Chains A and B, each alone.
Chain A
Amino acid sequence: MKAETLPQASPAAPAAHHGHPHESAHLHVSGEATYVDDIRELAGTVHAALGLSTQAHARITALGLDAVRAMPGVIAVFTAADIPGSNDCGPIIHDDPILADGLVQYVGQPIFAVVAESHELARCAARRAEVAYEPLPAVLDPLQAKQQHSFVLPPMQLVRGDPAACLAAAPHRLAGRWQVGGQEQFYLEGQISYAVPREDGCIHLWCSTQHPTEMQQVVGHALGLAANQVVVEMRRMGGGFGGKESQSALFACVAALAASRLRRPVKLRPDRDDDMMITGKRHDFHYDYDVGFDDDGRILAARIEMTARAGFSADLSGPVATRAICHFDNAYYLSDVDIRALCARTNTQSNTAFRGFGGPQGAIAIEYIIDSIARELGRDPLDVRKLNFYGGEGRDLTPYGQRVEDNVIHELVAELEAGSAYRERRRGIAAFNAASPVLKKGLALTPLKFGISFNVAHYNQAGALVHVYTDGSVLVNHGGTEMGQGLNTKVCQVVANELGIPLAQVRATAADTSKVANTSATAASTGADLNGKAAEDAARRIRLRLAEFAAGTYGGGSIGADAVRFTNGQVEIGETVQPFAELVIRAYEARVQLWSEGFYATPRLSWDLSTLTGRPFYYFAYGAAVSEVLVDTLTGEWRLLRADLLHDAGNSINPAIDIGQVEGAFIQGMGWLTMEELWWNKDGRLMTHAPSTYKIPAAHDCPAEFHTRLFRNHSHEDTILRSKAVGEPPLLLPFSVLLAIRDAIAAAGDGRTNPPLRAPATPEAILDAVEAVRAACGEGSRP
C-alpha cells in the first residue's frame, strides 16, 4: 500500500523539492495545533446559536421569540432588523440574507440568532422559537426548476463549430440523460467564528475561512464599518474543501453583529447538524447529452446541457457552472460542441464551492459518454479515450479558445497503462468474470486535464510579507490560508530556498487582513502558485539587498551582487563565506531593510464572460488513474481492490504533501461518486445531516493495493519553482472507480449493454443498474 515515492526528508535536506513534514505536523499529532475553538476564550465570552427555518419556502407571519428570550442564561436575540448595514453575505450576487427577513427559502435557513452564557444553552434556546409560516410553493428538484425556467442566473452557452450539422452527419449517435449527486464538504472542523469588539467600533474576528478578505468585507457591509475597522485572522482550518470559501460569511457576520451589539466577545460554532443543514454543498448535476462519433469512437460532435442545483441563491454557482463548461472537454479535443449550463433555483441549501468547483461535474460527463461509446462499439474504453486525446495536427484548441500548450496526457497515460499492467489485468478480469456467477470485477483507466487559475482574471494576484530578524530567523505572512493542504509548508520552503537557509529557520504566521490586504480566496488550487510566487518575490527583494550589501562589504570591489550565493545557511561572496545570520546582523547595523512585501499577478490570462472564451488558465495539470473493483450483483455491494494513480504536479515543491493531496482527493472523490448521498425528504428537509446518516469514506474504503506516483515533469510555464497546482485536479482521478464499477456491472450482461449507473453508485444504484442490464440481456445471466 506504499506510495512509491514516499519521501522522508531530513531537516538538513534542501528546502525545495523534498518531502518535508507539514509545518504543523508535530502540533497536529500532539493536540497542540490551535483551531478557532481552541483559542483561550477572553473573559466575558458568550455563545451564539442560530434558529433555523423548518419550511422550504414560506412567508414568516409571526416570529415568536419570547420563549427564547425567557430561557435562563439567554442574553440577547437578534433578527434581521438588528443588522445595521446590509443584510447580505453573498459573494458576487447580493441575494444571500444573513438572517431571513420575512421569507424563508429552504429548511435550515437561519432566521434569528440567540446569544447565551454557554454554547449548550444557546443551542437549546434556539429551538424554543415559535414561528408561524404561510407556506409557498417549493421547488425541490432542479429538473422541476428547469421546467419552470427558474434559475438563479441566466443560462450559459458555449458553441464552437457546427454541432447540429456534425451530429446529423455522424455515422453513430448516442443520446441520453444522466446524473451525478452533490457532496457535503464535511470538513472535520465545522464552521466557526469568534468575534471580539475592539476600540472605536472595530472588530477582531477569528474565523475558520478560506477567504479572510471577503469575511472582512461582508462583516464591514453588515455592520456599516470600513474595512480598516475589521481584522480577520486565520491560523488554520480543520479542512475547508471549498465549504469555507464564501459560506463562512454567515457565521462571521452573526458573530460580529452580536459582538458589536453586546460589546462582548461572541463565539458562534454551529454543531454538525446545523452546519450541514445551513451550508451549501457540491452541486448535483443533471445531464442531457447527444454525441456523434465515427466507427472507431472518435467524437465528431457533442451537445450537452448541464443542469446544476444552485439552491435558493446564486452564491458561487455562476463560476462553478463556467468551470463545468470549461472542463467538459477534459483531455479530449472536441471540434464541434454545444455546451450549456443552467443554474436551477431550488428551495434547498445554496450550493457552493467544493474542491474542483464544477470541473469534476463537467469532466465526468464526457468520461461517462466515452465509456458508453466504447461499449457501444465493443472497444476497450482506453483505446477510445486515446483516440480522442488532445494532440496532433489542429487538435489542440479547447472549445473556449485556449490552446493546450503543455500536453503530456499521451506520455502520462502510456506510463500508467504499462506500470499498472492494464492490458494483462483486463484479460485476467475477463477470465475471472466468466467463471464467477455472483461477483464481477471491473477495470477502468481515466485521464484528467484540469485548468489552473481563477476563471476571473483579477483574482489571480497575491501578496506576501517576509521579515528577516536579526538572529537570522524568518517570518512569512501571505494572503493564503492553511486548511491542511500544506500551503504554509510550501511557502516556507519557497522562502527558505530563495534565501538559501534551512527550512527550520522559516515560520509562517496566521493569515491576517491587517498584514496582507485584499487577498483572494485560497481556492481554485492556486494557493501555492500565487502566494508562493508572492513570498518568493518578497524574499528575493531581501536577498538582492543582502547581496548588494555583501558584495559591497566583503567583495573587495571585484564581486558583483549577482555573484553572491545564498546556500545552506551560508552566504558566499567569492572566497569569503559568511553565515546568513552574521550577514543579517551586519546588514541591520548598516541600516539595510530586512523585511519586504512581495506581489504576484499571474500573466497571460484573459476571459470574456459574454462569449465564454479566452485564456482563462495559466496552464493545465494532468493525471490518470486505474481502478479495479469487485461488485456483488446480488446486493450492489462493491469494493475497490486496487488503484494506481499517476499525477502531474510539475516539479513538485513537496512530493510528500503532493502525494497526500493526490491520495486524499482520490478517496474524497470516490466518496462523492459512490457512497456520499444527500437525501431530502418530500418537505425539503435534508435527512443526511450528520455522519450517522451521511457516510464519507472510512478506513476500510482505502484500497489494499494503492499505488500513487508523481509524473516526472516540470511546468511549461514560469510557475513557482516549476511546480503545478495539486489541490483540485486529482479529485477527477476516482472517475476510474465509478467507471470500473460500471465495467463490472456490464459484465453481468453481455458486455455490450451500457449500464445506466447513476452517481453516487450506492449499492442500490448498482443493483438497479445490474437489473437493468440483466433485463436488457435476458434472465440467463442471473446467478
Chain B
Amino acid sequence: MGADAIRFLLNGEPVEVSGIATTTSLLSWLRIHRGLTGTKEGCGEGDCGACTVVVGELAGEGEEPSGEPSDELRLYSLNACIQFVPALDGKAVFTVEYLRRQAGGSLHPVQQAMVDCHGSQCGFCTPGFVMSLWDLYNDCVPAGTRPDTARIRSQLAGNLCRCTGYRPIIEAGERMFELPERVLDREALRAGLLALRRSGGFDYAHDGCHFHAPRTLAGLVELRSRKPQATLLAGCTDIGLWVNKQFRDVGDLIHVGRVEELRQIGEQHGFLRIGAAVPLSDAYAALCRRYPELGELWERFASLPVRNAGTLGGNIANGSPIGDSAPALIVLGARVVLHGMHGRRTLPLEAFYLDYMKKDLAADEIVEAVEVPLRAPTLRLRSWKLSKRFDSDISAVCAAFALQLEDGIVRAPRIAFGGMAATSRRALRTEAALEGRRWDEAALAAALQALDQDYAPLGDLRASAGYRRRAAANLLRRFHLETRAEAPLDAQQTRVFAAFDSFAAQSQPLPSPEAAR
C-alpha cells in the first residue's frame, strides 16, 4: 500500500504534508509547524471555538443521490483542535491570517465590523469568532441574503467569549454586511480543489500508523474486514478527544469521510436514508424538513462546527448513553443499516444498543446508513433535551415522544429517553399504559405512574437522579399539554425556548409526506 503525502490548500496555496503523526491535530500543525498562531487553543476539545477555521471542499451530498462527485463548493466552519491533518486531504483550509490577505492588507469587513462594534476585549477568542462570522459572510454575500439575529446567534453558538457578553459580536454579524463587500473568489478555489482531487482512495502513513481513506463502500468494507482492530473515523469530534485528552493509541485509522455512498441522503421505500458519513448539519436539515418538531433539538445539538464535522452515523455508532439523536430516532422507528464482509443487515436502532457503550456491531461491520420512516399524517412527535445551557451542552435528560392520534385515541406510542439509563432506551411500560387510550388526564396519570417504573436514573454532575426522574415526568406532561385532544397548548405556552426555533424553521419543512420526493 503506497503512502501518499497529504495535500490541501492552506489559505489558498497548495501544501504537501508528510512526516507528521496520523493524529496530528490541525491546530498543532498550524501553530507549531506553520507558525500560524492566529488560531488559538482554548480547550482542545471543540467546546470553545477559539480554534475555529473554515474548510472548503467539493462535495456531492445533499438530497439528490448521485453516483458522481459533484463540483459544488461547500464552505463550513470546523474546530481545528479536533481535526486530524490527514482528514483534510483534498480540502481547503482557511485561517484568520487569510482575511487580511483577502482584503489586500486592510481589514476584511468581518474584522472591521468587529472593531467598529467593539467586539473584542481580551482578543483571545476573537479569531475564532471572526472565522465563524466569515463563514456566515461567505454563505450570505454570494447569495445576496442577510442573516437575521437568530441565524447569527446559531452561527456563533460554538464560540465562547468570557469578556463581552456577546452583544457587540452579534451586532458585528449584522454590521459586516453594511461595509464594502469582499467576495471570496470561489472559482479560483474550485479550480484549486479540482486540481487536488484524487481518483481513488487516500492512504497516509507515519511511524507505522496508517490513515486509510477509501473511496468506495466496497473498499471500506474490505479494509474493515482486513483491519478489525483499526479505529473507524468519521468526523473526529469524539476520537479527537481520545487523542487530545486521554492519550489513547488509536492505531490505524479508517476514515469513512470519502466514501461517496456513505455521503448521500435520499428517500427510498418509505424511508429517509441518511448515509453514515453525512455531517450532522445535513442530516438534521433533512430530518427537520420532515419533522420540524425536532427544531429545538437541532438547534441545541452541539455547536455548528461540531455539527459540520460530526456525522449522524458516528453519533449513533458511538453509542453514548446521552447521544441526543437516539431518542428521537428510536421513537420514529429508525433502523440502522450495518454492512460487513457477509453483506448487509438492518436492525431497529433500539436493538443496536446493548448496554453502556456496547453495540450489536460485529468486528467486520460498519454502520452504513440510518433509515428513518417517512411521516404518517396522524403522528404527534416531540423531542426535547434538558441541560444547564441552551447552546452546545450535554443533556441531563433527553426525551422523545411519538404517537399516532386517531380520533383522540393513542396508537403505537413510542417513548424513549436518554440520560435515564445506561443507553437511550424506550419506556415500554409507559407505552403500554398509553396504547389504545383516549389521550386525556387519566391516560397521562397512568403513563406517569408507569414511567416511574421504567427507569432508575443515576445522579451526576449534570443532574441528580431525582431531577432526572421528575423532569422526565414533566416532559411527558408537557407532551400531553401540547398534543392532547382537549385544548392543546402551543409551544409559546409551554417552552421558554420556542422563540429560538426560527432558524430551524428556515429550512422550510416539507408540507406533507406526499409532496416529498
Q: Contact residues of A with B, CB < 8 Å? A: 1-3, 6, 8, 19, 21-22, 24-35, 37-38, 40, 120, 123-124, 127, 185-190, 236-239, 241, 271-273, 436-439, 483-486, 630-632, 634-639, 656-657, 659-660, 663-668, 675, 677, 679, 681, 687-688, 690-693, 695-702, 704, 706, 708, 762-764, 767-768, 771, 783
Chain B 7-41 residues near chain A, CB threshold 8 A: 28, 31, 35-41
Q: Does B191 touch A at the CB level, under 8 Å?
A: no
What 10 pairs between A and B have smallest CB-CB spacing? A31-B38, A484-B122, A238-B124, A28-B123, A667-B165, A31-B96, A691-B47, A484-B121, A698-B391, A38-B37
Cα A438 to Cα B40 in complex, Å, equals 43
Nearest A residue to B478 via CB reads A634
Please determine whether B389 and A656 come into contact, CB atoms closer than 8 angstroms.
Answer: no
Contacts of B115 in A (CB 8 A): 21, 25-26, 29
Interface SS, A side: loop
Please determine whether A28 and B157 come into contact, CB atoms closer than 8 angstroms.
Answer: no
Contacts of B387 in A (CB 8 A): 695, 763
Known: A24-B123, A40-B35, A691-B47. A438 touches B494 (CB 8 A): yes
Contacts of A699 in B (CB 8 A): 152-154, 156-157, 159, 166, 169-170, 391
Interface centre among B28, B96, B467 (most CB of A within 10 A): B467
Nearest A residue to B303 via CB reads A698
Contact among A123, A657, A692, A702 with B47 in the assembled complex (CB-CB below 8 Å): A692
Please determine whether A663 and B165 come into contact, CB atoms closer than 8 angstroms.
Answer: yes
> Could you list 13 further interchain pairs (A-B, Cβ under 8 angstroms) beyond the known A486-B121, A635-B475, A764-B464?
A3-B167, A26-B111, A30-B127, A35-B124, A185-B162, A188-B42, A188-B162, A238-B124, A272-B43, A436-B493, A679-B461, A700-B153, A763-B386
Q: Does B171 touch A at the CB level, under 8 Å?
A: yes
Known: A31-B95, A699-B159. A664 touches B165 (CB 8 A): yes
Contacts of B164 in A (CB 8 A): 660, 663-664, 667
Q: Does B481 touch A at the CB level, under 8 Å?
A: yes
Nearest B residue to A662 via CB reads B165
Nearest B residue to A241 via CB reads B162
Contacts of B478 in A (CB 8 A): 438, 634-635
Interface centre among A438, A688, A698 (most CB of B within 10 A): A698
Please determine whether B160 and A696 come into contact, CB atoms closer than 8 angstroms.
Answer: yes
Contact among B120, B165, B496 with A29 in the assembled complex (CB-CB below 8 Å): B120
Please determine whether A188 and B481 come into contact, CB atoms closer than 8 angstroms.
Answer: no
Shortest CB distance A491–B (Å): 16
Shortest CB distance B165–A (Å): 3
Known: A8-B116, A40-B35, A767-B471. A30 touches B167 (CB 8 A): no
Please determine whether B471 and A763 come into contact, CB atoms closer than 8 angstroms.
Answer: yes
Cα A273 to Cα B44 in complex, Å, equals 9
Q: Does B457 touch A at the CB level, under 8 Å?
A: no
Contacts of A437 in B (CB 8 A): 489, 493
Contacts of B499 in A (CB 8 A): 639, 704
Q: Does B114 touch A at the CB level, under 8 Å?
A: yes
Chain B 153-207 residues near chain A, CB threshold 8 A: 153-154, 156-157, 159-171
Contacts of A704 in B (CB 8 A): 149, 499
Nearest A residue to B391 via CB reads A698
Contacts of A635 in B (CB 8 A): 386, 471, 474-475, 478
Please determine whether A29 and B475 come into contact, CB atoms closer than 8 angstroms.
Answer: no
Q: Mark B234-258, 1 if CB is under 8 A from A, else 0.
A: 0000000000110100000000000
Please determine whether A783 and B481 come into contact, CB atoms closer than 8 angstroms.
Answer: yes
Contacts of A29 in B (CB 8 A): 96, 107, 110-112, 114-115, 119-120, 123, 126-127, 130
Chain B contact-residue range equals: 35 or more
Cα A639 to Cα B474 in complex, Å, equals 18
Contacts of A483 in B (CB 8 A): 122
9 CB contacts below 8 A, A to B, read: A25-B114, A26-B107, A29-B111, A31-B38, A31-B127, A271-B244, A698-B160, A698-B392, A783-B477
Known: A636-B471, A700-B500. A439 touches B159 (CB 8 A): no
Please determine whether B493 and A1 come into contact, CB atoms closer than 8 angstroms.
Answer: no
Please determine whether B461 and A687 come into contact, CB atoms closer than 8 angstroms.
Answer: yes
Chain B 43-60 residues near chain A, CB threshold 8 A: 43-45, 47-48, 50
Known: A26-B115, A764-B467, A767-B470. A239 touches B247 (CB 8 A): no
Contact among A35, A665, A691 with B43 in the assembled complex (CB-CB below 8 Å): A691
Nearest A residue to B492 via CB reads A439
Chain B 457-507 residues near chain A, CB threshold 8 A: 460-464, 467, 470-471, 474-475, 477-478, 481, 489, 493-497, 499-500
Shortest CB distance B420–A (Å): 14
Known: A239-B162, A241-B162. A124 touches B50 (CB 8 A): no
Known: A188-B50, A439-B496, A783-B477. A663 touches B391 (CB 8 A): no
Contacts of A702 in B (CB 8 A): 153, 165-167, 170
Contact among A31, A236, A273, A632 with B97 in the assembled complex (CB-CB below 8 Å): A31
Q: Mark B112-141, 1 if CB is under 8 A from A, else 0.
A: 101111111111111100100000000000
Contact among B162, B392, B496 with A632 in the assembled complex (CB-CB below 8 Å): B496
Please determine whether B124 and A188 come into contact, CB atoms closer than 8 angstroms.
Answer: yes
Contacts of B410 in A (CB 8 A): none
Contacts of A124 in B (CB 8 A): 247
Please determine whether B123 and A236 come into contact, CB atoms closer than 8 angstroms.
Answer: yes
Known: A29-B130, A124-B247, A667-B165. A634 touches B38 (CB 8 A): no
Nearest A residue to B47 via CB reads A691
Shortest CB distance A576–B (Å): 38
Interface centre among B165, B170, B500 (most CB of A within 10 A): B165
Please determine whether B118 and A19 come into contact, CB atoms closer than 8 angstroms.
Answer: yes
